[in-house]
Amino acid sequence: MQEVAYLNGRFCRLEDAKVSIEDRGFQFADGVYEVLVAHHGQPFRLAEHMIRLERSLKELDLTFDPHAYGLERVIHEGLDRSGFDHTLVYIQITRGAAPRAHVCGDDLVPTVVVTFKPLAPVPPERRERGVAVKTVEEVRWSRCCIKSISLLPNVLEKNRAAREGFFDAIFVTAEGEVRETCSANVFIVKDGVARTPRADEHILRGVTRGYLLECAARAGVPAEETPVTRAQLFNADEVFLSATTFNVMPVTRIDDHPIGDGKVGPITRRLYEQCLAGIGSVLAACVIA
């Protein structure tokens, strides 16, 4: 097993992958990315990740066709080469390299990077006890639905949160509307109903978020996509986050305020179990096929 990189048509060791200092991703954050996981060599929800990647590319007017390029083939080959049981796959597409100028020509060749690393396990105590998050002012641009590599506000707030002992930070507007965290979507549970902010231009349309809405339907948990306010967040019976790298993360404290009884709630546990069951059934179907 080894960490592997793919760069512009060839596989190599991670440390051997180099891009030009004039790459527009490096100089302007002019690019998009996608993150997915694979279990025992099987990418989870690959089609949904490719759809989101295509949407981000279109929003940036970045001409690149993942299917014509054979990106799915690259992913499968990289998984075979790396050989991890649980793999984190990172994809980044930039507009390419050119002399630094805001305006560039239409003839640039996109830079294509894919890396394959072991997926870090979630510490068991986080599953059992939940995590603490903080709220912060929403200061990002109005197109957070694009999975852009320009993540400076997210990075700054996540690092501040970590230094203060929090797992993540939730962006809340001046009007009190809950958006998402620096790297995850937000769900609340009140009176047995799971609610998550609508997937509009202000939040990322999380693949795992969508999967959990399906899990809720299978588990018999009512779920809604609806605006969530700061007051609803703090008065929720349960709060949890969703993301590709951890599926479901229980939140038991926000700022200095315990959520519910301060313990991981039953619906959070039920949805996590349903999530794992769904992943297991997909893997089983792949083996049978």
Q: Are residues 179 and 198 in contact, defined by beta-carbon separation less than 8 angstroms?
A: no
Q: Let me know the angle formed at the C-alpha of 277 by 275 and 279, rounded to the nearest 5 degrees.
A: 70
Catalytic residue among 18, 134, 147, 158: 147
Q: How many CB atoms lie within 10 A of CB 76?
A: 16
Q: Which two tokens stand for residue 170?
A: 């939730």
CA dist 207 and 46 (Å) reads 10
The whole-angstrom separation of Cα 133 and Cα 252 is 8
* Nearest-10 crossing angle of helices 266-288, 207-219: 100
Contact (Cβ atoms closer than 8 angstroms) between residue 259 and residue 241: no
- Distance, C-alpha 145 to centroid of its chain: 12
Q: How far apart are CA 226 and CA 256, in angstroms?
A: 25
At 206, list the tokens.
């999380």
Active site annotation includes 147? yes
Active-site residue set:
147
